[in-house]
Structure 1
Amino acid sequence: MSAPPSRPPGDEVLRLKGETMGTSWSVGAVAPAGVTETALLAVIQPELDAVIAVFSPWEPTSEISRFNAAPAGVWALSQAFWTVLDASMDLADDTDGAVDPTLGALVDLWGFGPPGPRIGSPVPPEDEIAAALSVSGWRRLRLNRDARGAVQPGGMKLDFSGIAKGHAVDRVSEALSRLGATSHLVEIGGEMRGLGVKPDGQPWWIGLEEPPGAPSARTVAALVDIAVATSGDWRRAFEHEGHLYPHTLNGRTGRPIDNGVTSVTVFHASAMTADSWATALTVLGAEEGLALATAHGLAAQIVVRTEAGMVEHLTPAFVAMMDEEEA
């Protein structure tokens, strides 16, 4: 039986919110005596700014933009860049490329990157898809661990949209803990991490994101020393000739996913890991994704659109978590 969470460091929940990475963020934190909202923001904002400075392809001077524009060669990376890239490559290996950090050219091609939506037909022609695929693929990216560097083969564009928000959540959470605000809930664009409990002893209760039209009641979960991430096809997508094209791309085909998966939710101690696994399971689909998530002991929910309506698939760890909260 796990030990109960420690008493929070104060008697009040301080709340802050703002915008970052093209989305919103919010924090509820129980801070030690004397720590104000201004002090909390002073540790939160630098972490958010640092993530943008490293991982935002919308910023032309960011580290990822510089790598993407670099000529062929070995390029040294910052520790933050290396940590996220290394984690992405490990998961690419575990999922046979369902998470692939090298799909930036395809992201741009399909209108989801910094260049914006395509002019004319939103669906690119086959030859342009093939050209983008030719400079993509996680197996083509080589890492130099001794130099903490990556080999730019020429023309490759990295993209961390499936992991960056979770990484930012973890960074903010860790910064708050260093300040002494060890009980908190951090949320960035729907990805969340909760540590400790509130002053009244209650956990950080959150409602899981549900796809539009979901028939079931919204699931409520307690975040105590755990993170949750949801990948959904309604967040960023376009419709063309009656077909939905979500922003999650399948690196094997060079196209947006078309497997019926509308929503994937994953719980994990790390928001970055939960975020990346949610993307991977979305690409893999219900059958393959559920089997792999179960094999890795993940608490995951996969929702699929079918002709009969939405069907929910749960891993054993997810079911056990829900049973524990209802007990």
Structure 2
Amino acid sequence: MTNRTDDHSLLDFPGAAELIAAGGVAPPSAGAVDGAWDAVARAAREEERATPTPPTQLMSHRIRRPRRLLVAAAAVAAIATGAVAYPVLDMGAEPAATASASEFFKGMAEVAEDAPAAAPVYWKVRVETDNQDDGRRTDTNYFDREGRVWSVDADGTVHEPPAGEEGKVKKWPVGKKWLTWPDLEKLPTDEKALAALFPKDAHSRFDQVTIMLEDSPASPDLRAALFRILADTPGMKLVGDVRDSKGRAGVAVEITQKSWVRMGEGTGDDLTLHTQDRYIIAPDTGLLLETTHKTLGRATPADRYTWLEVGPAERVE
């Protein structure tokens, strides 16, 4: 059964009253409508994932803005369609995981377990990002066990982490907490005990687990437990053999999230939107190669994150 919530307090932002009172306007162009709904869909997707965090922490690229601002952005986007609207996430029953997807993740758990353990001085992450907000860029970062972050420019220039409170700290979300590298080593590696620490709803759990699999220095046993959690997470589908944007061979798994936009009274049926997250995994190593996030049925390109290098390092260079 679907649980739908009409929480008008979410529209508590500057200009909301004027927006609600504006009423109908002339029909917009098709391009304006598509652009508006793409913005709404992005806000709906990111709203589910958004968690307020201290500004001095370096968090995942996929957790961005507070809930209130995202809802405001969605409502403002609705101006282009001549109606008041805001996104509502589908929190109803999730479809069961396909057997093929579940078996694939179980296989990846075995691959992860067989990986050699490492005790590096630094952890290196090099990722190419391509989205509408930032365009295409490549970021190279190193962090140590204390979470201090070094960044390296394309020309090799190394930027040392600032001292004191100005420095950024690398952390990963687990439930409502943000964990450092040493915190990860304290997590249970029994999948049932570990799963209890993550959100109960499938999409949030899937999102947090994959964030950790993307770029964390999780041990082989911890990565295996994370894959086993995914094997029991509903809503995922095995796509099969694909190649990422760099031509690397991998296996793709997708999870689709349904949301809808509640229109103002007298405007007809609600608009249903589907957003799709795809994860490409190297089957021989269990490493994530690429993640994409898109709105189905819209021309807007997917947000893409291509993991070029993730692993131990003995020095920053």
Q: Return the TM-score normalized by structure 1.
A: 0.21
Ranked by relative contact order (alpha carbons within 8 Å, sequence separation 6 or more), the top structure is 2
Q: Return the TM-score normalized by structure 2.
A: 0.22
